[in-house]
Chain A
Amino acid sequence: MKISNLTALSKVMLLVAGLLFIGSLFVPMWRIELEAPQYPEGLVLQLHANKIGGDVDIINGLNHYIGMATLHSENFLEFTILPYIFGVFAIISLVLIFINNRKAVLVFFTFFVLFVILAGIDFYRWNYEYGHNLDPNAAIKVPGMAYQPPLIGYKQLLNFGAYSIPDIGGWMLTGAGVLLFLVILKEFKFKKSI
């Protein structure tokens, strides 16, 4: 057996990673939870691969006070591209089973990590854009105040506390990444030592 061939376990992990990529298309990837004294029930913005979900209309309504631009799925090119990217990721994961080559897995994993970094930068860029590009005629103007939500974690924005965290889809992608990493670890490190 050639050393570059994948073990059965690795193939199963690739299969699972592929399914996770597909699954992530149907559930929200990311969520920004908002809490305020007037909203004990909380508000949530959910980012799917293809759209913005959750209480978008209510949040858009509230954001007009600070002059933030309203959110509309069609204004983001990302929502058109992302479903294809995840679809391709899923196909690659499954194809890798048949390619049966650990180096190919390494290349894909590197590519995936690069994608995650780029996506993070893109998300930050949009957060910055919406948080800073405010209507000068807004009713509420707090000097020096920007309303950029956190990339990840918690931030207080006036009366709202904002938590930015992965949603189910985000965890599925994380799972897929971890599985790819485990495949590489297993195929490169443990096999050598045998």
Chain B
Amino acid sequence: MGESDKTVFNFNKMKNKFIKAVVVLILGSSLITSCKPKNSGDVVSGDAAQKVYVAPGKYDEFYNFVSGGFSGQMSVYGLPSGRMLKVVPIFSVDPESGWGFSEETKPMLNTSEGFIPWDDQHHLELSQTNGEVDGRWIFANANNTPRIARVDLKRFKTAEIIELPNSAGNHSSPFITENTEYVVAGTRFGIPSDYEDGDVPINTYKQNFKAHISFIKVDKESGKMDLSFQLRLPGVNFDLSHAGKGKSHGWFFFTCYNSEQANTLLEVNASQNDKDFIMAVNWKKAEEYIKAGKGKIEKTKYAHNTWNDETHTGTSVIKDEVLVLDAMAMKDICYLMPCPKSPHGCDVDPTGEYIVGSGKLAALIPVFSFDKMTKAIAKKDYEGNYEGIPVLKYKSVLYGEVQKPGLGPLHTEFDGKGNAYTTFFVSSEVVKWDIKTLKVLDRVPTYYSVGHLCIPGGDSKKPFGKYLIAYNKITKDRYLPTGPELTQSAQLYDISGDKMKLLLDFPTIGEPHYAQAAPADLIRNNGQLKFYDIKKNNHPRVAKGEKETKVVREGNKVHVYMTMIRSHFSPDNIEGIKVGDDVYFHITNLEQDWDVPHGFSIRRAQTAELLIMPGETATLNWKPTKVGMVPFYCTDFCSALHQEMSGYIRVSPAGSNVPISYSLGTNLPASSTK
């Protein structure tokens, strides 16, 4: 009581002063707020809505392929609308489509350590011919369990996944050479290689840890991948990479950090050196050494999984050796260019002359010159060597530095008009600068903390310009809140004019990292598949018509050869299944029409549903555990009589003598089926 009286008294005494103080505060803060940068509401210009509006039934101008980050998948958007078109399952199981659950797709997620249902998908790269996007395939990396996938863009389906031995944290991948000769993948973590003893103390990093960069050959016609060779390198962290193009075709550039080779508290211990490196790899030279037999076959294990469109089945082959070329022993394959402050992005301009390194902690952007680099190499203008690899002098290879561009540069893309666009994580902005003059031309804020960016064709010889998409790491208040986990997002900018203009925010799945975009017509007219030709279906257990459907018992295995067509399954009444059986439903969608998939779900199935495209066969394994009646039905609304598309399976106790029987549209006499 007394306490509060005192307070009131004190307050009254100070009232005059207090009011004055409040007035000062209000005035002061209004002054400060009026000086604050304008918020996004003001950033969007008046005609933004018109520029992103794609009328119902009209098509977008570009496809945008966006990495799904920790979802493990790839998402596809239309630009400029930002409408999501598809999520393509790659490295994570997808119960919606049955990817990783059907017997046919399980081998696609096989690795040297068995089936792995998840990964972290960071970077994508569209296939190229003569340095230009050709719309045939897109390559995707798995960061956690090192793998590279090839997605077929006629089907928007994962066609191939290859595991990478001697690798951990497959981050600087999957970047390609200008004719898709190779997909290249560098390891982020130094580790003892698979062919050496890995059971060593962690603090022996400097002696025992090495890094390997993989060169995966891509077949020109089929796209089929083959791990051609690996380069053995010092145990630094390879972060990102890009191939040379045009004049620098034949070279590959990788950023690396942790040249300190720290194995603990990297945020401090790997940030000690003022400069780490961009490593230039003369891969044509490496090819020569491989041809000359300088490579060494090393024992390892990795999975190579391929999808066959005619058997509708994936096959996993475990390979047990890899060709390794010791780049530290061959003195003229790799060269190191000093690059400030733990560089991240490594981007080559459309002419192939300029290599942009982005030091995560730097306040400038170094631009290296390919011509100066080749001259420096010819003159052996070295400042030393790093574990046997020549280190070129910074000044000898530097074209120039972009001064005061922003804080924390990460990635750069190009518009083909002589401009570069760099993202800044710390200062949360995209900065446009002139490659020749190194002058900053424009900057726009991002909401918030942009990571990667993408310009259609922006890392190829022929960028299409027009749009820039920023992929942000933080969204906070940008969308309606959804609890502690907020949506991920992308932002679309118009870069057709001198100034960048924010047009649109759109949410994305997972955490978006690198992305690719291509003109819609390039993909749309590449021979898009509408459905699978059932005449070409060579699945070993296909039923090409209802007459071929059957149920066959082989011991405790039961194979159901089933078909689906609007709007019934054949057979739809199955008896003679017993608890403890191992039942395989081999289901063929008999439809030969556009956009008529059927789904298949069984009550209490331990796996997922199957979504089966017209002309395709897929298999679901089911182990009944309870006696009783089990309905199954079609999950994809296929016709007016979709709800009728269903059936029953009678499950009898183990050891029951109910014989296998199956039917469609007929019933046996009641007396015979007790």
- Chain A residues in contact with chain B, CB under 8 A? 41, 57-58, 61, 65, 139-140
Contacts and interface: CB of A to CB of B under 8 A. Distances in A.
B641 A139 contact: yes
A58 B592 contact: yes
A58 B641 contact: no
Given A61-B565, A61-B566, A140 B593 contact: no
Nearest to B641: A139
Contacts of B26: none
10 contacts: A41-B594, A58-B592, A58-B593, A61-B565, A61-B566, A61-B591, A61-B593, A65-B639, A139-B640, A139-B641
A65 B641 contact: yes
Given A57-B592, A58-B593, A65-B639, 8 more contacts: A41-B594, A58-B592, A61-B591, A65-B640, A65-B641, A139-B640, A139-B641, A139-B644
A85 to B, nearest CB: 33
Interface residues of B, number: 10
A52 B566 CA distance: 23
Interface in B594-653: 594, 639-641, 644
Task: Specify the main secondary structure of chain A where it touches its partner.
Answer: mixed
Nearest to A59: B593
Contacts of A61: 565-566, 591, 593
Given A61-B565, A61-B566, A140 B592 contact: no
Q: Is the interface of B mostly helix, strand, loop or mixed?
A: loop
A139 B594 CA distance: 23
Contacts of B592: 57-58
A57 B614 CA distance: 13
Nearest to A159: B640
Interface string B313-324: 000000000000
Contacts of B644: 139
Task: List the 7 closest A-B pairs by CB distance, nearest first.
Answer: A58-B593, A139-B641, A57-B592, A61-B566, A41-B594, A61-B565, A65-B640
A19 to B, nearest CB: 36
Nearest to B57: A40
Interface string B563-604: 001100000000000000000000000011110000000000
B640 A140 contact: yes
Nearest to A38: B595
Nearest to A62: B566
A190 to B, nearest CB: 54
Contacts of A58: 592-593
A158 to B, nearest CB: 11
Contacts of A140: 640
A19 B467 CA distance: 57
B641 to A, nearest CB: 6
A41 B592 CA distance: 15
With most chain B CB atoms within 10 A of its CB, the pick from A41, A58, A61 is A61
A44 to B, nearest CB: 13
Nearest to B592: A57
Nearest to B566: A61
A57 B594 CA distance: 12
A64 to B, nearest CB: 8
Nearest to A41: B594
Interface in B354-395: none
A66 B644 CA distance: 16
Contacts of B566: 61
B112 to A, nearest CB: 45
Max chain A C-beta neighbours (<10 A), residue from B593, B594, B640, B641:
B593
Contacts of B639: 65
A103 B625 CA distance: 87
Contacts of A57: 592
Nearest to B565: A61
A10 B77 CA distance: 64
A145 B644 CA distance: 23
Contacts of B641: 65, 139
Contacts of B565: 61
A15 B640 CA distance: 54
Nearest to B595: A38
Nearest to B590: A61
Nearest to B594: A41
A97 B593 CA distance: 49
Nearest to B593: A58
Nearest to B639: A65
Contacts of B640: 65, 139-140
A1 to B, nearest CB: 61
B605 to A, nearest CB: 28
B211 to A, nearest CB: 52
A57 B531 CA distance: 14
A41 B531 CA distance: 15
B235 to A, nearest CB: 57
A140 B644 CA distance: 13
Contacts of A65: 639-641
Nearest to A140: B640
Nearest to A40: B57
A65 B568 CA distance: 12
B157 to A, nearest CB: 22
Contacts of B591: 61
Nearest to A57: B592
A58 B639 CA distance: 13
Interface in B465-493: none
A54 to B, nearest CB: 13
A57 B591 CA distance: 9
Interface in B37-51: none
A65 B642 CA distance: 12
A41 B640 CA distance: 20
A139 B643 CA distance: 13
Contacts of A41: 594
A41 B596 CA distance: 14
A131 to B, nearest CB: 20
A45 to B, nearest CB: 14
A140 B567 CA distance: 13
B636 to A, nearest CB: 14
A147 to B, nearest CB: 16
A162 B566 CA distance: 22
A36 to B, nearest CB: 12
Interface string B87-125: 000000000000000000000000000000000000000
A145 B636 CA distance: 30
Contacts of A139: 640-641, 644
A41 B565 CA distance: 21
B545 to A, nearest CB: 12
A65 to B, nearest CB: 7
Nearest to B591: A61
B441 to A, nearest CB: 45
A58 B593 CA distance: 7
A139 B566 CA distance: 12
A61 B640 CA distance: 13
B216 to A, nearest CB: 39
A67 B252 CA distance: 65
A65 B593 CA distance: 16
